[in-house]
Structure 1
């Protein structure tokens, strides 16, 4: 008599006779479309987790705003004194001992939050999607409501962390965006031109080059590659690094592009030429040639025309604009500045408070 077909799955390893042992998951024969299905499931889980986090944050921000508005109203209309906030904080903590974020200082921040964003609907559309600590940065660093809205929108669009937001505010990004000398309006379609204007800025601030003055192009390039993450941060959202000294051979001659990037939103290559000295019109011709080569050799049919960026130590805005007039390639000219940041003397560092100590002093508890 033949053995049952499933006998091959039995194991004589001390288990009860006749008991079927499960086949290890790693040895299962998977359906042909399983990998696609798994990818879709993981994407859905990731998206839903992000939605849940954003939704939870939005609910928290609205609660903070509502509580801040009530406190503001009580103090303005009912004459409640500042000491009431201390009592309110203690009573909330007694009622909800497991919840954090209701220190007296944080309640005062909620009041300031409601005061800074008097329009509840506008608050829900913008800063309700931003973490609380980023909202604190907006309130503490920006007193002008228009600027606060601008940086809030940029934070949402670019996904800036609190620290990155603070850096962008301190470097006055709003004064630098769209300030490069360029010919985008004449060489790009209107929508692409507007986007390119917002992508490129002037000047670019490099605070990571060290304390020794950079005087040569190769030295500048080495420093930018050495601190590529910080360089990409200063370039802005959407830049992907392709390579440095990118070799191209044309007409039997070798050429090397200083730095090549691809911009994910503009959907095009960006050729960056670095100059340690002042701008001169002849530099535009060299950059134009490199852009033509990239368009001919590297550009995919679905890619948009390559954009060029000349980073120079200094420029005359009028001369730069005349040099770009009549050029059919989209090119921007911007200055770069070496920001000297000297480290604190070692003997002073131990006396400085840590980040944790500062947050404790400010009452910014975990989850606040």
Structure 2
């Protein structure tokens, strides 16, 4: 077994690194998350500099991990794998000032999830901001990334810019997604809208998580009496940040122009019967199985009430790269045909 020849400046580097760790250990006992994350960032930056300037390789980093764990046996986190995460972390957050404002406010394993799953810096920053604002756990953050929340948020077709004043219109647009993912439901081919509504209510915690922060459930099949006739709204919420009611109409099929007219009527009635003087105008969301965005835009164009249209899906859509790599139904049929045993 060959003996590893260490760089000449390695002992001094290790001594300085031990000093950094001891200083942080004394100052915060590694109990404050921000201090721990910033320590990992400094370690990662130091390793990155040594690799760039001295040509350090993976074996030197592995030796560094061994020496650090020997020196600090009570501190976890100094595996070779975690040191590589630290280096990647320092690469992705090169500006220490921005690091302190954003990533240093997240637990380390939250940051590791983002390093693994989000390669675009702008998108990663957005997820950090959302996690800080919404207090997402590690599992919730992972689920939001996997569902492509960044690409869905604020994408619903709406007429908010014409029916709501700024900044209410911008805020309302950002609370809506397209599509909404209800992967916690199991619905058969013959399911009706009431089955969808019942499933969402049975999984109300997951439903509220998918809707986003600020939604409070007011009721389902909420009764309104207009002109002596009874009407029932599928789902009624109150949004705490927007300070308004939100009515959701569920559709099992494709969006139709008449769906927006029906919602326009519901909103006008709700503003008269539910809205308090201090509330903002009620917002409507038509959630349908599919939609033609051009049709939806035309349907909303002449309406006076703020309405959004979005799709819902039971499973997350596969990325385009993965879809292209999967066999077609014809290829599957051919493969199955070839594998069938010969007839006797």
Q: Aligned partners of 2:47, 2:60: CA distance in 1, in Å?
A: 9
Distance 1:201 1:262 in 2: 17
- Correspondence for 2:209: 233
What is the deviation of 1:150? 2.1
Change (3 A) 1:184 1:55: farther
Q: Which SS does the other structure have where 2:241 is aligned?
A: coil
Q: Is 1:265 the counterpart of 2:241 in the alignment?
A: yes
1:138-157 residue CA offsets vs partner (Å, 9 max, x unmatched): 10012222222222222222
User: Which aligned pairs between 1:147-158 and structure 2 lie closer than 5 A?
Assistant: 147-158=123-134
What is the match of residue 54 of structure 2?
78
Q: Aligned partners of 1:144, 1:298: CA distance in 2, in Å?
A: 43
2-structure distance, mates of 1:242, 1:60: 42
2:91 alignment partner in structure 1: 115
Of 193, 196, 204, 2:169 maps to 193
Segments of 5+ residues of structure 1 without an aligned counterpart are 1-51, 342-368
Match of 1:30 in 2: none
Which of 106, 109, 133 in structure 1 is aligned with 2:109? 133
**CA 1:322–1:81 in structure 2 vs 1: closer, same or farther (change >3 Å)?**
closer
2:65 aligns with 89
What is the CA–CA distance in structure 2 between the aligned matches of 1:211 and 1:292, rounded to whole Å?
32
State the shift of 1:338 in Å: 2.1
Mapping for residues 212-361 of structure 1, pairs under 5 Å: 212-213=188-189, 215-339=191-315
The runs of 4+ residues in structure 1 deviating greater than 6 Å are: none
Per mean C-alpha deviation after superposition, the further-off stretch among 215-224 and 84-93 is 84-93
Matched-pair contact (CA < 8 Å) for 1:207–1:338: yes
Distance 1:86 1:214, change over 3 A: farther
Q: CA deviation at 1:127?
A: 0.7
CA contact (8 A) 2:264 2:304 kept: no
With normalisation by structure 1, the TM-score equals 0.74
Q: What is the CA–CA distance in structure 2 between the aligned matches of 1:226 and 1:165, rounded to whole Å? A: 23
Q: What is the alpha-carbon distance in structure 2 between the residues aligned to residue 301 and residue 60 of structure 1?
A: 49
- Structure 1 position 263, deviation (Å): 0.8
Deviation of residue 285 (structure 1)? 2.2
In structure 1, distance between residues paired with 2:78 and 2:176: 42
Q: Is the 8 A contact 2:147 2:316 kept in 1?
A: no
Distance 1:179 1:187 in 2: 17
Task: Determine which of 31, 38, 43 is the counterpart of 1:67.
Answer: 43
TM-score of the aligned structures, taking structure 2 as reference length? 0.79
Query: What is the root-mean-square deviation of aligned Cα atoms in Å?
Result: 2.0
Note the C-alpha offset of 1:55. Answer: 9.0
Number of equivalent positions: 289
The question of whether the paired residues in 2 share the 8 Å contact of 1:214 and 1:276 is answered with no
How far off its partner does 1:340 sit?
Answer: 8.1
> RCO greater where, 1 or 2, for CA within 8 Å and sep 6 or more?
1
Distance in 2 of aligned mates of 1:81 and 1:324: 60
Give the secondary structure class of the aligned counterpart of 1:190.
Answer: coil
Q: Distance between the aligned counterparts of 1:113 and 1:340, measured in 2?
A: 28
Pairing partner for 2:141 from 155, 161, 165: 165
